[in-house]
């Protein structure tokens, strides 16, 4: 588009038809051809009224830049070319300005670009809403939730390298200004079967490959993993590497996104440990064994993998091994334990892996919701974004495709209902008569699937719950009996005889006539996938894990909460989720994005007509156009309509002074458009047939050409007149400048002639004067030369006389000097021998010292204070000097080294020196703390929203924040507490809730006691008369004992001006309420390795065993 050209309507410079409602004639071929024409010109977006059709270009296009965002910001929906930004802006402005909750429904098959479309919607909303530190943080968390969910919920398929294998609905919450406050994510039907098995040419979920590619060697070692993909049975090797995908870089992106969203380090570690456990579960293999009673049972071939899984999850190896070999069935008061054969053991293993990963994914969604949920309780506006699977028709369709297509049937039903409702409401609002529209209502298909008595899902649940032998074939027989007469159900074994000869329908299949076409489903696996059973033994084994996350994922494994009720089936759960989703969508204003995949090769510039036709049919796009066109094909407000077409009527051109509606009426009457082709609403003009609109556009185009010709004529006349006036003005200027130039030339010629005459006269006069001056000069020079010669002769005679006289005087002086020298030497000879030795000694000593210092200058050691090198002493008499120089040099370089320290480093070294004075050679734990920097704030209280309540309660600066174990007075067991040290107080708070349990002023702390051994136990003694001493002293355990004791000592000294007593003894007394208990430290072997344990021996003794 030219720089000065401004686009004011969708119809300007339109490639093909930008809105399919205006397509004429409306056929399937014309629909596809229009899409192809626009796709070939890089126009990937097309409208159907307010619905956006998005075709995946499989390449980057320059249409998502910040400039494009500003171009579509606060613009009318039909003002610019079709774009996803236009729909996003319309939804956002309706939410912000009209208080209407919005939802954006994105549908399409895998690889059509649904996930990218949802990202574009969120990025646009983030770009146009408010700014500010808090708002930006919320926007960043909402955007960064995508990489986390994609890593755990997306996978490479034959159709898409980043296919979403779950449905996602996100509610973004806004305040009254339109600024985001937070969000809530709901997930639907994760394809957990992919964890244990992937079709050929496809991969498992991204996170498995990202960990193995991007994690460091140390991190992999902690997770007990190896980088080689071939080591794991759950990873398909034929597509392990994907072109253009950097799994290592994506892993770093995921870890960074988890940190931004708000995951703590230990939570991230726990998540990756669960992923590693799932990966290693696939390597467990079983072998058959026969028991004495003749029953077959299974045994694990190699228990090394099982051992590593148990170490990762904290499960007793024998418990998990038994859960893989036996199954316990409970009925009322009876328990029956049966062995599992090899096939059943593999089923149990895969069921555990699927459940573990599926529950982990649900936990991730819940955890993200905790971080991104709105913190305020004010009334919120909501924009929902639904990114869910499209209608699926494969060669082999199973239970997953059945419930996905059921979901799409419900979405199609609500789409038709809301579209008709929207059209009807606008007609009523504008005062236009509403006529009933005939359309296919797919409620009969939804009822076939979801009816509570005769629906397919109800029949499937009934078959799963029925006692006796239940198979997929018995389920199909039941369907043949109940649904045989339904017009949208087909089966080879049904009572309808017309299907008996249909060889395209196998015996183990049934077919449903969906709104998008017929789909044949294979019943194999329907019952198992709907049951989704996990043996109770495995649930209980998981609950016994010491791994906190795994234990939380299996609450039903708690023996105290055994529920003999059968868990709800997968079908009933999904049906309830879809019902909740439909109810939610009906409360919001819908906006639709229909995504289309142009080809199966994931290549740019390729448009497969057959594939696009298939998608158009099952998305119901033609029916959508027909619903939109059932009344009036085009509608527009009076003001923009008059502004666009006013040049077609002399009365309205160039300006109309009256109301816009009156101007449109005058315009249409002038153009003689039949009255049946349009209707006047209260604020809009409604045009029935697209031909009428195109006629207006043709007339406008012709009129614009005429106006352009007129403008060009006027412009050319103006240009010629301007050029003539300019040439006339230029001629006058040139003439005046020429006359001036001619006069200047004449004057210059006269002036130059006068100057030449003057120069000749001056030259003659000058030459005459020069001749006279030369004659006078020659006379003066002759007299001067004669005088000079005479003066020279006289001077040479006088010089000769003076030289002779000086020679005689010099001879006398020399003789006298020699005589005086002789006399002095005779006098000095008798003193020379007595003083010569001392002088020579002093001179020699001076030369040796000079040589010593020069050599020291060249042999000086480095300026490092720890450098022990020093040059050897060259002479014995310099021994004391040599040592003193070494001492002075060491002090000087130490001072130079200290001068480099910042104030923070000086404070750290002061604390380290204080710790050395307090604990060196006294506490066995001290040497290990020397190399560890004192950090103080080990808990990020200010950053972690979990501790917001604790942060608000503490006004002072926190010197140290650490999780410690508080020893129970009764039994010696440990309870986690948050230890906080401020300038004036010591606080203990609950780790989970952040509530402050105890607060002790530093003045009430009298002493700190600890053992001399390698343990972290210490006791804080309180004044007996103080308020905090009601429950007695504190007995605590910490991994940073040296640092905590040092900081407590220094803080107490700074505030109270009194030194805190540090007692180091293997036995000391602790006051517990009214009793004094002796704490005794002994050496002993531990079951837990190197962790000390504390036991209460009697009322007066608490014994701590240190390894």
**How far is it between the farthest Cα atoms of the chain?**
165
The three-point CA angle 1014-1018-1021 to 5° equals 155
Q: Which of 410, 388, 400 is nearest to 169 (CA)?
A: 388
Which tokens in the block code for residue 63? Answer: 């249409």
The edge-to-edge listing of strands for the beta sheet with 509-514 is: 489-491, 509-514, 517-522
Active site residue 497: no
Cα gap 675→687, rounded to integer Å: 10
Distances (CA, A) of 59 to 55, 164, 269, 600, 603: 11, 19, 36, 14, 8
Candidate list 110, 405, 419, 569, residue with the active-site label:
110
Give dist(CA 415, CA 627) in Å, integer.
Answer: 11
Catalytic residue, from 46, 88, 118, 160: name it.
160
> Shortest CA distance to 1080 belongs to which of 1106, 1107, 1101, 1100?
1101
Q: Is the dihedral of CA 303, 306, 311, 315 positive or negative?
A: negative
- Can you tell me which residue has the tokens 């006692």? 467
Catalytic residue from among 111, 153, 182, 620: 111
Least Cα distance to 348 among 325, 331, 319 occurs for 325
Residue among 282, 359, 284 at smallest CA distance from 551: 359
Give the phi and the psi of residue 1069 in degrees, each rounded to 5.
-100, 140
Task: Give, as one character, the DSSP assignment of residue 378.
Answer: S
Residue 164, judged by CB atoms within 10 A of its CB (0-12, 13-18, 19+), counts as: buried
Active site residue: 88, 163, 358, 1038, which one?
163
Q: How far apart are CA 596 and CA 54, in angstroms?
A: 6
Q: Of the residues 167, 390, 620, 994, which is catalytic?
A: 390
Would residue 392 show up in a list of annotated catalytic residues for this protein?
A: yes
E strand or H helix that includes residue 679: strand 678-680
3-state secondary structure 701-716: HHHHHHHHHHHHHHHH
- C-alpha span between 987 and 961 (Å, rounded): 10
Is there a contact between 409 and 219 (Cβ–Cβ < 8 Å)?
no
- Residue 432 is classified by DSSP as P
Peptide bond before residue 654 is cis, with ω within 30 degrees of 0: yes
Task: Please give the structure tokens belonging to residue 621.
Answer: 């796009």
Distance CA 140, CA 851 (A): 71
Residues 6 or more apart whose Cβ sits within 8 Å of residue 131:
none
Q: Is 115 a catalytic residue?
A: yes
Is 164 a known active-site residue?
A: yes
- The three-state secondary structure class of 891 is helix
Q: What is the DSSP track for 771-784?
A: HHHHHHHHHHHHHH
Show the tokens assigned to 714: 């006027």
Marked catalytic residue, from 71, 79, 285, 392: 392
Report whether the peptide linkage leading into residue 905 is cis, meaning its omega lies within 30 degrees of zero. no
Q: Which residues are catalytic?
A: 110-111, 115, 160, 163-164, 390, 392
């Amino acid at each position: 588009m030219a720089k000065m050209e401004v686009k004011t309507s969708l119809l300007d410079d339109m490639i093909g038809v930008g809105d399919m409602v205006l397509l004429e004639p409306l056929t399937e071929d014309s629909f596809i051809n229009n899409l192809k024409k626009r796709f070939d010109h890089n126009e990937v977006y097309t409208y159907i009224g307010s619905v956006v059709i998005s075709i995946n270009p499989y390449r980057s296009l320059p249409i998502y830049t910040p400039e494009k965002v500003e171009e579509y910001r606060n613009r009318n929906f039909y003002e610019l070319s079709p774009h996803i930004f236009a729909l996003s802006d319309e939804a956002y402005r309706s939410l912000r300005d009209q208080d209407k909750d919005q939802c954006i429904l994105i549908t399409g098959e895998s690889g059509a670009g649904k996930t990218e479309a949802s990202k574009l919607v969120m990025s646009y909303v983030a770009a146009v809403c408010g700014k500010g530190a808090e708002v930006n943080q919320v926007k960043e968390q909402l955007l960064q939730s995508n990489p986390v969910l994609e890593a755990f919920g997306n996978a490479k398929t034959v159709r898409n390298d980043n296919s979403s294998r779950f449905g996602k609905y996100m509610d973004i919450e806004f305040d009254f200004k339109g600024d985001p406050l937070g969000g809530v994510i709901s997930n639907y039907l994760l394809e957990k079967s992919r964890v244990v098995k992937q079709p050929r040419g496809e991969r498992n979920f991204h996170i498995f490959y990202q960990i193995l590619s991007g994690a460091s060697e140390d991190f992999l070692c902690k997770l007990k993993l190896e980088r080689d993909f071939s080591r794991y049975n759950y990873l398909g090797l034929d597509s392990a590497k994907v072109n253009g995908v950097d799994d290592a870089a994506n892993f770093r992106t995921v870890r960074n996104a988890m940190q931004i969203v708000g995951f703590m380090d230990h939570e991230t570690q726990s998540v990756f440990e669960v992923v590693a456990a799932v990966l290693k579960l696939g390597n467990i293999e079983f072998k058959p064994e026969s028991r004495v009673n003749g029953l077959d049972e299974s045994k694990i071939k190699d228990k090394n993998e099982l051992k590593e899984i148990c170490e990762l999850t904290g499960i007793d190896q024998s418990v998990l091994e038994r859960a893989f070999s036996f199954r316990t069935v409970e009925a009322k008061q009876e328990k029956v334990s049966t062995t599992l054969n090899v096939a059943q053991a593999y089923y149990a293993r895969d069921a555990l892996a699927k459940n573990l990963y599926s529950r982990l994914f649900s936990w991730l969604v819940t955890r993200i919701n905790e971080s991104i949920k709105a913190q305020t309780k004010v009334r919120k506006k909501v924009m929902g974004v639904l990114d869910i699977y499209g209608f699926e028709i494969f060669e082999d369709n199973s239970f997953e495709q059945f419930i996905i297509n059921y979901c799409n049937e419900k979405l199609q039903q609500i789409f038709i209902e809301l579209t008709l409702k929207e059209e009807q409401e606008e007609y009523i609002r504008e005062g236009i008569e509403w006529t009933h529209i005939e359309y296919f209502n797919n409620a009969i298909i939804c009822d076939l699937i979801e009816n509570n008595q005769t629906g397919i899902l109800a029949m499937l649940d009934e078959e799963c719950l029925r006692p006796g032998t239940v198979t997929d074939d018995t389920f199909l027989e039941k369907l043949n009996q109940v649904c045989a007469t339904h017009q949208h159900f087909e089966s080879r074994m049904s009572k309808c005889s017309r299907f008996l000869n249909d060889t395209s329908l196998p015996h183990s299949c049934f077919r449903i006539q969906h709104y998008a076409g017929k789909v044949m489903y294979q019943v194999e696996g329907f019952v198992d996938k709907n049951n989704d059973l996990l043996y109770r033994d495995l649930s209980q084994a998981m609950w016994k894990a010491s791994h906190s996350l795994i234990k939380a994922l299996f609450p039903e494994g708690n023996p105290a909460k055994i529920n003999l009720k059968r868990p709800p089936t997968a079908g009933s759960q999904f049906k309830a989720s879809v019902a909740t989703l439909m109810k939610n969508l009906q409360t919001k204003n819908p906006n639709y994005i229909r995504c289309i995949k142009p080809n199966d090769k994931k290549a740019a510039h390729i448009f497969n007509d057959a594939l696009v036709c298939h998608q158009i049919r099952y998305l119901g796009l033609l029916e959508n156009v027909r619903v939109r066109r059932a009344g009036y094909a085009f509608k527009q407000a009076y003001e923009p309509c008059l502004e666009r077409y006013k040049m077609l009527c002399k009365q309205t051109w160039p300006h109309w002074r009256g109301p816009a509606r009156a101007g449109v009426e005058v315009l249409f009457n002038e153009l003689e458009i039949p009255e049946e082709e349009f209707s006047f609403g209260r604020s809009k003009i409604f045009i029935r047939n697209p031909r009428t609109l195109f006629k207006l556009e043709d007339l406008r185009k012709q009129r614009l050409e005429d106006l352009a010709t007129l403008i060009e004529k006027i412009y050319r006349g103006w240009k010629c007149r301007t050029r003539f006036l300019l040439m006339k003005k230029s001629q006058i200027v040139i003439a005046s400048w020429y006359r001036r130039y001619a006069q200047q030339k004449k004057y210059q010629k006269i002036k130059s002639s006068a100057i030449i005459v003057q120069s000749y006269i001056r030259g003659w006069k000058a030459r005459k004067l020069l001749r006279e001056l030369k004659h006078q000069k020659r006379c003066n020079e002759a007299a001067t030369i004669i005088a000079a010669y005479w003066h020279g002769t006289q001077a040479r005679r006088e010089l000769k006389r003076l030289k002779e006289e000086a020679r005689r005087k010099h001879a006398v002086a020399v003789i006298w000097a020699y005589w005086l020298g002789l006399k002095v030497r005779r006098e000095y000879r008798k003193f020379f021998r007595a003083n010569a030795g001392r002088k020579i000694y002093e001179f020699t000593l001076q030369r040796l010292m000079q040589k010593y210092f020069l050599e020291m200058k060249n042999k000086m050691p480095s300026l490092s204070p720890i450098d022990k090198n020093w040059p050897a002493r060259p002479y014995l008499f310099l021994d004391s000097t040599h040592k003193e120089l070494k001492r002075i040099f060491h002090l000087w370089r130490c001072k130079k080294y200290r001068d480099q320290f910042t104030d923070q480093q000086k404070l750290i070294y002061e604390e380290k020196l204080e710790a050395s004075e307090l604990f060196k050679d006294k506490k066995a734990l001290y040497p290990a703390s020397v190399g560890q920097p004192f950090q103080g704030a080990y808990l990020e209280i200010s950053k972690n929203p979990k501790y917001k309540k604790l942060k608000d309660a503490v006004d002072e600066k926190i010197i140290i924040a650490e999780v410690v174990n508080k020893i129970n007075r009764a039994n010696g067991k440990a309870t986690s507490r948050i230890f906080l040290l401020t300038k004036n107080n010591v606080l203990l708070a609950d780790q989970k809730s952040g509530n402050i349990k105890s607060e002790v002023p530093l003045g009430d702390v009298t002493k700190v006691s600890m053992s001399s051994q390698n343990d972290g136990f210490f006791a804080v003694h309180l004044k007996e008369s103080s308020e905090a001493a009601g429950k007695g002293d504190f007995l605590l355990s910490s991994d940073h004992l040296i640092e905590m004791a040092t900081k407590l000592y220094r803080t107490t000294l700074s505030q109270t001006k009194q030194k805190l007593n540090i007692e180091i003894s293997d036995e000391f007394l602790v006051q517990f309420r009214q009793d004094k208990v002796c704490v005794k430290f002994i050496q002993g072997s531990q079951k837990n390795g190197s962790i000390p344990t504390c036991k209460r021996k009697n009322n007066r003794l608490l014994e701590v065993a240190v390894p």
